Amino acid sequence: MLEDESDWRATAVALRDRGYATLPGAMPASAWRTLRAEAQQLFADDAFSSARIGRGDGARTEGLTRGGSICWLESGMPAGNSFLRWMDGLRLSLNRDLFLGLDSFEAQYAHYPVGAGYETHVDRHQSSNARVVSAVIYLNSDWPAEAGGELVIYDAQDAPRLTQAPDGGTLVLFMSDDTPHEARIATRERWSIAGWFRTRD
Ligand code: OGA
Ligand code: MN
């Protein structure tokens, strides 16, 4: 598990220089499997709600196709809370290395059923600059290449810059304001956590 300041520094540099960073194996399998089990239990308990409504949609929300459902992480969720604490270490490192003034982190478990995806969007809301850095961590075991479901980040000319399969333990960070991205439709159920480092609104 990436823990301390020096571990996160290369991530901060990539984020600064490229606008995104990928970290395969950022978290050991035992940790992301525990997160997925918590998500699945919450899902079974009907704690998830449709991803189409509520906060959490991108700046180009109108008419946007976003499948699946989400559940906001809270400190009372044991696995979710340890994830939030882990991301708080990253928040402090990003502040030290990039002077981003990140004030808080919010995150949601996301479940996409077979056939669902999330069309190209940016994460920063039109009405608020609060979201500065986006983070996604994947919770899927043995994801086959032919199952789709990749995260694709585009450049300003709509050419793919990154195509990342949703492999368990892979963490992707990108800037929330100017990074168009999509989650491609998958032929399997897809579990992840999507989160946002925020400044004060
Ligand atoms: C999001 C998002 C991408 C992914 O939730 O805003 O873009 O790969 N997710 O799950
Ligand atoms: Mn997004």
Distance 183 CA to ligand 1 centre (A): 6
Nearest CA to ligand 1 atom 1: 194
Q: Backbone phi, then psi, for 97, in 5-degree steps?
A: -85, -35
| φ/ψ (deg, to 5) at 127 | -90, -5
Tell me, yes or no, whether 40 lies in a domain: yes
Burial class (CB in 10 A: 0-12, 13-18, 19+), 98: middle
Q: Is residue 147 part of a domain?
A: yes
Please tell me the total count of domains within the chain: 1
d(CA 168, CA 138): 5
Extract the tokens encoding 56: 């959490």
Residue having the nearest C-alpha atom to atom 6 of ligand 1: 123
Task: Output the ligand 1 site: residues, CB below 6 A.
Answer: 110, 118, 123, 136, 151, 181, 183, 192, 194
- CATH at residue 131: 2.60.120.620
User: Is the whole-model pTM more than 0.75?
Assistant: yes
Ligand 1: which of 111, 112, 136, 153 to mutate, most ligand atoms within 8 Å of CB? 136
Is 73 part of a structural domain of the chain? yes
Place of tokens 């520094």: 9
pLDDT at 126: 78
pLDDT at residue 59, as a whole number: 41
Q: Domain residues for 130? A: 9-52+62-198
- Specify if 77 maps to a domain: yes
Give domain status of residue 111, yes or no.
yes
136 neighbors 167 (Cβ within 8 angstroms): no
**pLDDT for residue 199:** 95
* Segments in the chain below pLDDT 50: 53-63
Q: Return the pLDDT at 58.
A: 47
**Atom of ligand 1 lying closest to residue 121 CA:** 7
Q: In what order do the strands lie in the sheet with 104-112?
A: 20-23, 171-175, 131-138, 190-198, 104-112, 69-72, 49-50
Per-residue pLDDT at 61: 44
Residue 2 lies in a domain: no
**From CA 195, how far away is CA 133, in angstroms rounded?**
8
4 belongs to a structural domain: no
Domain membership of residue 92 (yes or no) is yes
